[in-house]
Structure 1
């Protein structure tokens, strides 16, 4: 049984490796805007779950041709936070200017990091079981100085991640706390993924690599 991650995210890969799984990476290349446009006024949780599903489904044919048995995990994250016209769902900031505006609103406040996951179990050349769900984690933001914020945005990191911040990178300096699952803020929720794997009949411990098992037993 192979664990296939339908994402190129280094952060997601790092979380999985630290948790004993060496993922096979197959990037979905999904047109996220097209997925959004195909939905009619989706709730934020519906949107992130639909995007996660689209990413997982996009690689099914390739994975089914490569492996006799596999589980595909698709993930998507967005930040539900205060915008200029009330609360809004935001993904990656498109420009440094938008990242700066977003941080000016987030600083000293909170946001809900919404994470959608889909797990597809592949066998006999196609999908034999599936599970999808989402969760929300509250992120409490600090108040970086203007110099700190300018330096952070200049690194380019905020433009590469949902919400314009990281927990496990440079952005971690400006996050004062998390209420909920920290791994979901990094990009892939270990507890939710474990639950969805169980829903499709796969125990997470069966996917742990040998090196991780030896480390746990030493």
Structure 2
């Protein structure tokens, strides 16, 4: 494989890795880019997802260049869950998760994922994907049981749709993989449009 065919994922998220693998894409390297993800004053959820995905890609590329590995595809993503303009946190505490789930219970919310690709030639491409999700009204027992599962930890909005919380979803309009953390259709489209041979990984299920 040529150097320019190498793909670096600027994330350590198991969910994003699994989604790429589902599309037959195996990142050559993981280069998580840790950033301050605090929203700016009055920042719209859409703008936050785009800003952070771009910042992650650029920070990863900076680190790769320092390692002498700048001639690669760098892919980054950031997922934001919001009710109206209110941005929900990536829940790290029980209280955060509880507050998120109480807010989501019985109502609709939106999930935005910004995807950013920097090509070996230095071109920067971005996509923003939006999915609408409606939760059932959660009973006290359902809420307590989900909080007890620990599945919410580190997840935007305090839940993971690919896990137990999938049972809470009444309706989903748009990309399911976007809610998991990486919209596959748009991501594969970005890579393919800039010369990354996505289908090369489909032969015998492995690349190279």
Note the alpha carbon deviations across 1:36-67, whole angstroms, 9 max, x for none: 44xx6432211110000111111113334454
TM-score by length of 1: 0.82
Question: Which deviates more, 181-190 or 139-148?
Answer: 139-148
Cα distance, 1:145 vs structure 2: 2.2
- Of the three residues 112, 125, 128, the one matched with 1:114 is 112
1:8-157 matches, within 5 Å, as: 8-23=12-27, 24-33=29-38, 36-37=39-40, 41-64=42-65, 65=67, 67=69, 69-81=71-83, 87-122=85-120, 128-157=122-151
Task: Write 1 or 2 for the structure with the bigger share of strand.
Answer: 1
Match in the other structure for 2:156: 162
Question: Which deviates more, 152-161 or 184-193?
Answer: 152-161
Q: 3-state DSSP class of the match of 2:188? A: helix
Where does the alignment leave 5 or more consecutive residues of structure 2 unmatched?
none
TM-score by length of 2: 0.86
User: What is the CA RMSD across the aligned residues, in angstroms?
Assistant: 2.2
Match in the other structure for 1:7: 11
Alpha carbons 1:194, 1:203 under 8 Å: kept: no
Distance 1:138 1:89, change over 3 A: same
In 2, distance between residues paired with 1:28 and 1:157? 23
In 2, distance between residues paired with 1:91 and 1:180? 22
Cα distance, 1:213 vs structure 2: 6.6
Task: Write 1 or 2 for the structure with the bigger share of helix.
Answer: 1
Number of aligned residues: 201
Distance 1:80 1:196, change over 3 A: same
